[in-house]
Structure 1
Amino acid sequence: METILRIDNIEKYYGNKSSLTKAIDNISFEVEKGEFVSIMGASGSGKTTLLNCISTLDKVTSGRIFVGGYDITGLKGNKLNKFRREELGFIFQDFNLLDTLTAYENIALALSIQNVKAGEIDRRVKKVANELGIYEVLNKYPYQMSGGQKQRVASARAIITNPKLILADEPTGALDSKSSRMLLESFNYLNAELEATILMVTHDAFTASYADRVIFIKDGKIFNEINKGDNTRKEFFDKIIDVVTLLGGDLNNAL
């Protein structure tokens, strides 16, 4: 099995000597190719900081992060931009679509930047749009789409370059329950059929239950980790709730 992401003893501090906060405290784990991993934790637990460090939006204080066997912690300038553009796919809670571009143009943009030929762009955009059920909105602008459609367009944009790793930050946070379910089914399709490797931060146990594995973060450390294995999604959801209870907080308020 190929290791896509390896986190080696990373730490992250904020502030100065008089007021120092340890956001990440010696975290290590791996994500294999084709895995769908969710990270859960209370507000302030360090889960978003962890995602920001993996996405290179923030830098670790110590430790190493490897993506595809390549140490990304020291990347700068053009090498950093190239890594983000070619190796990572991003899915955000607020979609981050460009309002002046159609769905087709939003999805195609990353390929255009890579100077992919127009015919190949057209083939790949239409293929992923069919796979995610958004073909009918390709010529629409974001304001003409529902929240669920916008998030699936954002998912198509994330997968179109065949990145090594897709990072999803609270992807269902702005969606209603029906749209959330449709998006998560799309994630399962990307993961199972296209072998996409997904790392998702979420506060929601229902959303996390679609993953293969859930890593729980508390006070900047890994608190627990559970695998879906042969469990049904409902059984896995119940296991997640059990750990949430151990974390010591109400699901809706603490996570």
Structure 2
Amino acid sequence: MNEILKLDNVEKYYGNKANLTKAVDKISFSVEKGEFVGIMGASGSGKTTLLNCISTIDRVTAGHIYVGDKDITTIRGNELNKFRREELGFIFQDFNLLDTLTGYENIALALSIQNVKPKEIDSRIQEVAKRLGIEEVLNKYSYQMSGGQKQRVAAARALITNPKLILADEPTGALDSKSSRYLLESMKEMNEGLAATILMVTHDAFTASYASRVIFIKDGKIFNEIRRGEDTRKQFFNRIIEVVTVLGGSLNDAL
């Protein structure tokens, strides 16, 4: 395995000296190629800020973040835009599909921007659509899809450019339980069947139980980390709940 993501003493502060908030406080960890890592924490723990720094939406106050061999805290302008476009995939809570495009066109857009030939675009979309079970909605517009279908189209869009890293921000947050399960099974297929490296932020223990490793954040710092290993998903879920309980969150917050 090789390292896809590395965080080295990352800090993110807001405010000024008189009123300073440490959203992320000297966090270090790495993610290997092919891992599916979850990040959990209560509201205000710093997990979303951390994801924003990794995605380059926000800039770190101190420390370094490496994707592959590239220090992304140092790049700017067109180089940064190129990095986001080619090396990151995003799955958002609210889908972020373009309403005027079909599912097929939403997925194809990223490849079109990269000047990929139409024949290759089509073959790649058909392959990922089959993997994620969205063949029947490729010609539909987003208003004709269920929430789960929209999110699986969004997952296909994130995967289609073969990015080094897929970042998922509360991907099941807007879905019902059935749609959540379908999406998580799709993400599992992306990880295990297509070797996608996924970093997912969630407050939900059921969602986190699909990951191979979960990092817990409290007050901007790493509180704990557990690996699934040979556990069943249910066993891993129970271990996650145990950590959430110690972490200080209520069981209702975790489910």
Taking structure 1 as the reference length, the TM-score comes to 0.99
Partner residue in 2 for 1:48: 48
CA distance in 1, matches of 2:249, 2:213: 21
Corresponding letter in the other structure for 1:185: E
The percentage of aligned residue pairs carrying the same residue is 78
CA distance in 2, matches of 1:112, 1:254: 40
SS in 1 for 2:235: helix
Corresponding letter in the other structure for 1:78: N
Partner residue in 1 for 2:237: 237
Q: Structure 1, residues 42-70: CA drift from partner, whole Å, max 9, x if none?
A: 10000000000000000000000000121
Corresponding letter in the other structure for 2:99: D
Find out whether 1:35 has 2:35 as its counterpart.
Answer: yes
CA distance in 2, matches of 1:176, 1:231: 26
Partner residue in 2 for 1:14: 14
Q: Residue 9 of structure 1 contacts residue 27 of structure 1 at CA under 8 Å; is this kept in 2?
A: yes
Partner residue in 2 for 1:250: 250
1:126-165 matches, within 5 Å, as 126-165=126-165
Partner residue in 2 for 1:3: 3
Q: Residue 204 of structure 2 contacts residue 254 of structure 2 at CA under 8 Å; is this kept in 1?
A: no
SS in 1 for 2:116: coil
**Segment drifting more, 9-18 vs 101-110:** 9-18
Corresponding letter in the other structure for 2:90: F
* Unpaired segments ≥5 residues, structure 1: none
Find out whether 1:104 has 2:120 as its counterpart.
Answer: no
Flag as ranges the 4+ runs of structure 1 deviating above 2 A: 251-255
Q: What's the offset of the Cα at 1:36? A: 0.2
Q: What's the offset of the Cα at 1:162? A: 0.1
Partner residue in 2 for 1:123: 123
CA distance in 2, matches of 1:75, 1:109: 24
Q: What's the offset of the Cα at 1:16? A: 1.3
Partner residue in 2 for 1:114: 114
Q: What's the offset of the Cα at 1:254? A: 7.3
SS in 2 for 1:25: strand
Q: What's the offset of the Cα at 1:253? A: 3.7
Q: What's the offset of the Cα at 1:18? A: 1.7
Q: What's the offset of the Cα at 1:127? A: 1.0
Find out whether 1:24 has 2:29 as its counterpart.
Answer: no
Q: Structure 1, residues 107-151: CA drift from partner, whole Å, max 9, x if none?
A: 000000000011111111111111110011101000000000000
SS in 1 for 2:122: helix
1:64-79 matches, within 5 Å, as 64-79=64-79
Taking structure 2 as the reference length, the TM-score comes to 0.99
Corresponding letter in the other structure for 1:28: S
CA RMSD of aligned residues (A): 0.9
Q: Structure 1, residues 63-95: CA drift from partner, whole Å, max 9, x if none?
A: 000001210001110000000000000000000
Partner residue in 1 for 2:201: 201
Q: Residue 23 of structure 1 contacts residue 46 of structure 1 at CA under 8 Å; is this kept in 2?
A: yes
Corresponding letter in the other structure for 2:37: V
CA distance in 1, matches of 2:108, 2:19: 45
CA distance in 2, matches of 1:254, 1:188: 20
